[in-house]
Amino acid sequence: MNNIIQKLMTKKLLNDSFGFRKDGLDFLLRRYNKKIINFVNETYSQSDKRIKQIQISKILNKKKNAPKYYTEIDLARDLAKWLNQYRINGDDVITPTYFLGNSARIDVIGALYSNGQVDLYKKKDIKKVLTHSRYADCVAIISKSQPLHGAIKIFKPKKNVYAGADNRLGFSQDKKTKIIYFGYIEPKSNGRYDILDKSISTGKTLSIMAENIELLWSSRLSTSFFPSFWEY
């Protein structure tokens, strides 16, 4: 986990131009087995195709300070309308804002199991998931236990014990065993911690997953959701 954290702390979170999300478009084109030429042919008239191809190419391969006629917003609107007709498997409706920089791609670095412990993935098994741009500096864990199987849990990677995670639901790592837990992080007077499984409904403690341990790091849960789009 420490190597993962070090890499994430230094990674480039957002593009220099926080505008049109070409990577998001590339993902949807792969998902629906389409190409830009299909979009142009199915969206614009014969007389407009050539100029649209040129305009789209300038947006997707934008040069700094280039003049704008057919804009990112125009392209996002047309792409959303076109791609929505090919949605599959209950995909959410694609809105123009999907292409306009309000989403981030973050790593799903491991899986959470019913014992409250996290199994980290090998590098080749790490997936990407789309989330709001406010979580661009976070990582995610996927739940493999019921009743939230498939849910994504997001947190900020930390290099030390974070006081803001005390008495909160979050992730933490036992310094001795290196086991990563997901649960309520309860501080003790001796500077150590208990990791508790608590009922969300009542707040009562259901079990103690780890007792009187020294933490290597901790981080509170930022958000949870069921993903609409995966990126491989």
C-alpha–C-alpha distance, residues 128 and 109, integer Å: 9
Token look-up 């005390």 returns: 166
- Nearest CA among 131, 176, 53 for reference residue 140: 131
Res 16: pLDDT: 41
Three-state SS string over the chain comes to CHHHHHHHHHCCCCCCCCCCCHHHHHHHHHHCCCCHHHHHHHHCCCCCHHHHHHHHHHHHCCCCCCCCCCCHHHHHHHHHHHHHHHCCCCCCCCCHHHHCCCEEEEEEEEEECCCCEEEECCHHHCEEEEEEHHHCCCEEEEECCCCCCCCEEEECCCCCCCHHHCCEEEEEEECCCCCEEEEEEEECCCCCEEEEEECCCCCCEEEEEEEEECEEEEEEEEEEECCCCEEC
C-alpha–C-alpha distance, residues 195 and 187, integer Å: 9
Here the tokens at position 69 are 């006629």
Res 66: pLDDT: 62
Res 108: pLDDT: 94
Q: In tens digits, what is the pLDDT along the chain, a chain of 232 residues?
A: 555 544 544 444 444 434 677 877 888 899 899 999 999 999 999 988 888 888 888 888 877 666 666 788 888 899 999 999 998 877 778 888 778 766 677 899 999 999 999 999 998 899 888 887 788 889 999 999 877 888 999 999 999 999 999 999 999 999 999 999 999 999 999 999 999 998 877 888 899 999 999 999 999 999 998 876 554 3
Res 148: pLDDT: 84
Res 68: pLDDT: 62
C-alpha–C-alpha distance, residues 220 and 163, integer Å: 9
Domains plus CATH for the chain?
A: 22-99 (no CATH), 104-232 (2.10.109)
CB count in 10 Å sphere of residue 7: 11
The one-letter amino acid code at 227 reads: P
- Core vs surface per residue 178-192: b (16+ CB within 10 A) or e: ebbbbbbbbbeeeee
